[in-house]
Chain A
């Protein structure tokens, strides 16, 4: 359906103190409109004008375009003390105009974005950083209290939630953990093997991959994967519950959100992480063996024998401990961002993003500290 529009125009005739505006044509959104500036200027300059009338005999269709122009003319008229006679306009336009002017504009509502001095910006940044730290400490404190309640057997949450979370964090994550750890083992072996082969010391690849995976990479990679997979999910779940007022509902029913929502998630992750870590270690070692056996002339038996010699129980315990700590950190930051979430769709997105970012930051910091401690203690 193609409709042709009459070009719209505005004719201005001045009779002594009265300005007569003749509107003609179709005033619709796609049309080219005549410029209003000369008219508005005339209204501003010529102080003898005190009345404005319209004639709309030739007016065709009209929509918001005409309305916005009329509003400009009327506002200018009101500003200059010119009486604007609306009575000759079509009924519909009059009705709409009365709606527009029914509620006066809230001047205090309008915001003017002011440019703030840089000193103020720095100050604000510092204050919000302090606020951030204090809310983190509050959250950690609340978590400790609810763990205390758990130990005393007074924490209230549904067992089924714990199982569902274990299922979500554990078995469902196995495929991605398999893929990533296997590849990490493969890469570790390749990178090391090229150097070691120069000295004919290929067999030490087993030491390197075995120790690297158990002490460091297995747990670390599992934690990184879980922060993207589970940390973000926790933040999004709790954030959406916040948006839907579900958390408020739980509070009114007498549940503590920290116990009811955060504890099962945290417990699930802490229980599952060491197992995922062990599994990731195994996958990495298998990945490493594939490269070593395939390309560097070492037999499968030799490789695994060497690995068993190289890895001691303390290495596994170090890896386990690290991974459990990572589990706590992931659950903490995921749940914290979720509980702090604002009440809009975009806030949920922000919560998920900042959950992943803080998970990774915490993991890296904690890993460095623990590695340093292990080094000093000589384990």
Chain B
């Protein structure tokens, strides 16, 4: 069996003395669309920061293949991170550069390709996310959904093995969100990359998630993992069920007892 793409071993995340999550232990396999889910403020985005090298874990390890991200020295860490691409919540395009310059930036920094070739790659990446012809636009001149797709094009600039998404569908209308989901899935299928996604958009979670981990803010640790559909069908943890059904199951239950009470009266 090949080693998992990404393994989180016994990790504790904390800001100073304030522990956010402890005892995180899970693996992400190649080709997964892995969902990190949980209620607001449970540390989903913080977990992502630990995976993409922006924040050091208080305890524990993050393994990319066989290499530990945080024990490696800075050059090795950068090399590992070059194999990943990140789409931030608001796109995080550099506002002083055009879309083409934004996407060309990592390519010209990390490869020795000529200007002509870079331009071709930029056009290809933009076409891939449905933005062909928008090379010379500034991020402020296009809509939020387009900014997000342009951010995705930049995240994919170096053909990463792992793509990270922070709330990709936040702020998008349902149709654009669905299109983005389809795009993510077809990119995963065609490029063979692994996708790690922080989201609490239930529609996306069930539509494209193949594996997931559920973080709980009260017990400060992960309380479930597995494919989202399977979790919904099999989990017995009330918190997980409440999250995956938007609390409606419980409300229905409550409603039922209420009506029973009424009928008894």
Give CA–CA (A12, B171) in the complex, Å: 49
Contacts of B117 in A (CB 8 A): 65, 68
Interface-lining segment among B53-61, B134-142, B213-221:
B134-142
Closest to A96 in B: B190
Q: Are B189 and A346 in contact (CB under 8 A)?
A: no
A interface, size bucket = 20 to 34
Q: How far is the CA of A110 from the CA of B113 in the complex (A)?
A: 24
Complex contacts, A96 vs chain B, CB 8 Å: 128, 190-191
By the criterion CB–CB under 8 Å, are B96 and A344 in contact?
yes
**For the complex, is B124 an interface residue (Cβ under 8 Å from A)?**
yes
B127 touches A105 (CB 8 A): yes
Give a binary string over B91-115; 1 marks a CB under 8 Å from any A CB, 0 the rest: 0001110000000000000011100
- Taken together as a complex, chains A and B put the C-alpha atoms of A100 and B131 apart, in Å, by 9
**Residue numbers in B under 8 Å from A343 (CB-CB):** 140
Q: A30-B111, A64-B121, A68-B120 are in contact. Are A106 and B132 (CB under 8 A)?
A: yes
Nearest CB of B to A327, in Å: 33
Q: Is A60 an interface residue (CB 8 A)?
A: no
C-alpha gap A65/B116 in the complex (Å)? 12
With an 8 A cutoff between CB atoms, is B192 at the interface? yes
Are A92 and B190 closer than 8 Å at their CB atoms? yes
Residue pair A29, B159 in contact (C-beta under 8 Å): yes
Q: Which residues of A contact B94 (CB under 8 A)?
A: 345
In the complex the two chains form, what is the Cα distance from A163 to B121 in whole Å? 55
- A350, closest chain B residue (CB): B96
Contact A345 B159 (CB under 8 A): no
In the complex, A41 has a CB within 8 A of chain B: no
State whether the Cβ of A366 lies closer than 8 Å to any Cβ in chain B. Answer: no
Given contacts A92-B189, A95-B189, A100-B124, contact A110 B136 (CB under 8 A): yes
Say yes or no: A72-B191 contact (C-beta < 8 A), given A64-B159, A102-B130, A344-B140.
no
Q: Apart from A99-B186, A342-B140, A345-B94, what 19 extra A-B contacts exist at CB < 8 Å? A: A29-B113, A63-B159, A65-B117, A67-B124, A72-B120, A92-B191, A92-B192, A95-B186, A96-B128, A96-B191, A100-B127, A103-B132, A104-B132, A105-B127, A105-B132, A107-B133, A109-B134, A344-B138, A345-B96
Residues of chain A touching chain B, judged by Cβ–Cβ distance below 8 Å, are 29-30, 63-65, 67-68, 71-72, 91-93, 95-96, 99-107, 109-111, 113, 342-347
Task: List the 6 closest A-B pairs by CB distance, nearest first.
Answer: A344-B95, A95-B190, A105-B132, A103-B130, A346-B96, A68-B120
- Which residues on B are within 8 Å of A, measured CB to CB? 94-96, 111-113, 117, 120-121, 123-125, 127-128, 130-140, 158-159, 183, 186-187, 189-192
14 contacts between A and B (CB under 8 A): A30-B111, A30-B112, A64-B159, A65-B117, A68-B121, A95-B189, A95-B190, A96-B190, A99-B130, A100-B124, A100-B127, A106-B134, A113-B136, A344-B140
